[in-house]
Structures are given as structure tokens and as C-alpha cells.
Amino acid sequence: MHTVAETKDLIKARNGLKIQPDYDFYDAPHFDILIIPGGYGAEEIEIHNLNIINWIKNNMNNVYIIASVCTGAFLLAEAGLLDGKQATTHWMAIDRLEKEYTKVRVQRNVKFIDEFPIITSGSISAGINMSFYIIKKLLGEEIANVTAKRME
């Protein structure tokens, strides 16, 4: 495990992308919306990181919406937050989610599922659809449409 200083110092991702966070788990401010990203790191590495799983679980009641993109749903499932709820994930991982987390009511062939305050999306592109949905839910259809148009 890395120290807080080491973690804050520099986080490297694929293809040389560097992320330098302003906060870590110990000094993060309050979030209105918490996005749990997916990918290999989420489903194969961080799913075994009890610090992350517990942080997600402990912050569930401190956010208005918690949303996962792609296989970020595995971290929510591991934290027990999807038990008894409908959820989705990337089509390539959906069988695994269903098999390993039998209390989750896995939904196929959908872009995202709203089980407020938890929203799960099926893929990166479905995560964009989910983002517009969240904007519409919080700020209205006009702002969501303007946001979509500006991104086009």
C-alpha cells in the first residue's frame, strides 16, 4: 500500500496519462455526485482493495448520487450497494457480474439503470448517456440538451 503522499504525488494510467489528485480518501471534500469508473483496474485490481471498497461503502450516504461507468459496477457490487437492486455493466462483463454477485438483479441490453441514488451504466459510451440523464434529472431537459449540443 502506498502512503498518502506517494498516492498524491503522481498516479499513472495507461498510455502515459498522468493524474495528480488534489485530495485522497482521507481529506476529500463532500461530493454531491460520486462517479465510480470502470476498466481493468476496477474489475481486476481495485475490487480487492478494501480501502477503496470501504470508502465507497462509507460515503454512500454522504452523496446525492453515486454512479458507475462500465465495470465500476463491480466495485459497487463488492461493497454490497447493489444487493437487491437492478444494475448493468459492460456487455463483456455482464455474465461475470451476474455469476459473482447473485443478489444483484442484472439487466442486459440497457444503457443505464437508475436505482436512485445509485445509477449504473453499461459502457463508456453509455456513461455519456447516463451523464445527460443525470444533468436532466438535476438541472432539467433544456440544460441537458444544451450540454449535448455543445459536445456535438
Length of the chain: 152
Percentage of the chain lying above the pLDDT 90 cut? 67
Number of folded domains in the chain? Answer: 2
Closest CA to 34 of 45, 44, 43, 23: 23
Residue 52: C-alpha distances to residues 25, 78, 88 (Å): 8, 10, 20
Split at pLDDT 50, 70, 90, the class of 21 is confident
Give the model confidence (pLDDT) of 44-100 as tens digits. 889 999 999 999 999 888 899 999 999 999 999 999 999 999 999 999 999 999 999
Q: Are residues 76 and 123 in the same domain?
A: yes
CA 127/CA 37 separation, integer angstroms: 9
Same domain, 143 and 115: yes
Q: Residue 126 belongs to what domain range?
A: 31-151
pTM of the model: 0.84
Is 90 in the same domain as 59? yes
pLDDT of residue 10: 46
